[in-house]
Chains A and B, each alone.
Chain A
């Protein structure tokens, strides 16, 4: 759509220009090529994997909604985290236990409705894949996307190291580390970088990306440590994570951290300008926000 210069001065023209600034194509004049094709592709495949792995993982968790520390653990052993249902004079209630604390979470955690009927289940149907409780089916989804995640993640890591994306763009510099307090302040004030500074990731952003790469790596390793076949191949991972049940707990804790990352990530995308941010992850081109005068 072409807009002639003569309309640029009218108020409608200003609106059109502002609109074009948001959705119009980005060029080397007002932006730069921020994300390469393979980084974009692996980003979205990873997002899909995380969605399916989380949903199926919560369904798997429901088969035994208790976490232990150490090599072993079953119903007779103390759990540091559990979801469950119990009978009370007021009827069945759902509870969430964290260490010594118990919370009544009826309707959401421990005791919730599926297809119009209440049942004892850890996570509610609207969080699990499939929505109905079935360990065998959930495992099928989990292993399918575990393979995709591992291959996709490996492709990203090898490529990013090869083109020095990890080293140049994500690994924090000495100056970055010194700038942590200022960056924290910027984030608290929801102040986003403009101009030259917007061409680089800020230090908290770098640390968050490194953190999520580490968390996903730990997910893969702790997940494999749950496999008795893999244990016979690489028994040292059992020792690395302090036992099979500890590995299961770390698997769950890393999943929680990844959920936290996704939440902050999406909030930041919305605050920083969702169209510009999402477009850059689709086309690669990022429009640099202008300096405030």
Chain B
């Protein structure tokens, strides 16, 4: 005779295998299910909480020696924004390019690239890790973002820096109809915005940034993946929430399913 304990155990085994079987059979559907997306969101939150818990806000990403610089630094995403406006700026060596810093600030700023070059700079040789899997090392020179944000004087309710870019990216063709073209943008929270290695870079390997790598200005936020390193930056908007911007998930790739916290 099977005891009550045996029956409970049998039920648990059947339920366990049934659940696992259901998960395996429905994996493709669950991948794109809006309700299951909450599970994935929870996982992203765990990862962010765990990494932020272990990672001191000021802790630096590794910096390399000049000998480690990659002979060829692969550009990715947009290679050339190609709009009439951008082409005009490129032809004029970005002399008239303006960087706007606005939103939740007391002193909105409008700066030229020449203005930025006159400010204190930071040069760092760091590794760029693309979400696809490849890595390259480059030497970046630029203005620490913290300097600009202090000059702009953030309001107390400021939480994010949103980077608006000049390039319109067409998305991943492999995703079929789900992908749509969109203006590139990115966002970081104030922890990363004020990190010492977070810079607005205007030079790569000692030369002015070229068009494929994001001329005239790109973000370097060294403890996160490549898609956070927004190129062709025109405007930095300080905000308390990015839910009203574009797809509402804080970035071009985030709107297409990628994690907002790209530390992994």
Contacts and interface: CB of A to CB of B under 8 A. Distances in A.
Pair from one complex: yes
A175 interface: no
Interface stretch (B43-51, B78-86, B99-107): B43-51
B61 A228 contact: yes
Given A131-B28, A147-B43, A139 B137 contact: no
A228 B224 CA distance: 6
Given A51-B24, A232-B61, A245 B253 contact: no
B223 A136 contact: no
B31 A130 contact: yes
A126 B132 CA distance: 21
Contact of B127 (A44, A141, A244): A244
A232 B58 CA distance: 10
A144 interface: yes
A136 B24 CA distance: 19
A235 B27 contact: no
Interface stretch (B108-116, B211-219, B256-264): B256-264
A230 B264 contact: yes
Contacts of A63: 131-133
A76 B55 contact: no
A244 B28 CA distance: 30
A147 B46 contact: yes
Contact of B61 (A134, A140, A231): A231
Interface stretch (B67-75, B200-208, B231-239): B67-75
A72 B62 contact: no
B55 A233 contact: yes
Interface residues of B, number: 55
Given A129-B27, A227-B264, A233-B59, A61 B74 contact: no
Given A134-B175, A227-B263, A143 B24 contact: no
A74 B136 CA distance: 7
Residue among B71, B74, B132, B133 with most chain A CB within 10 A: B133
B72 A74 contact: yes
B40 A144 contact: yes
Nearest to B54: A233
Contact of A228 (B44, B175, B223): B223
A74 B135 contact: yes
Interface string A47-74: 0100110010000110110101001111
A64 B225 CA distance: 15
A5 B3 CA distance: 25
B28 A229 contact: no
A157 interface: no
Nearest to A137: B31
B243 interface: no
A72 B135 contact: yes
State the 10 A-B residue pairs at the shortest beta-carbon distance, nearest first.
A229-B263, A136-B257, A64-B133, A74-B134, A227-B264, A140-B40, A64-B132, A63-B132, A74-B74, A130-B31
Given A51-B24, A143-B40, 20 more contacts: A48-B23, A63-B131, A64-B130, A72-B70, A72-B127, A75-B74, A134-B172, A135-B132, A135-B258, A136-B257, A143-B47, A147-B43, A226-B129, A226-B264, A227-B263, A228-B61, A228-B264, A229-B263, A235-B62, A248-B133
21 contacts: A44-B17, A48-B20, A52-B27, A55-B27, A63-B132, A64-B132, A64-B134, A74-B136, A129-B31, A130-B31, A132-B176, A134-B31, A135-B131, A140-B40, A140-B43, A228-B223, A228-B263, A229-B264, A232-B222, A233-B54, A238-B62
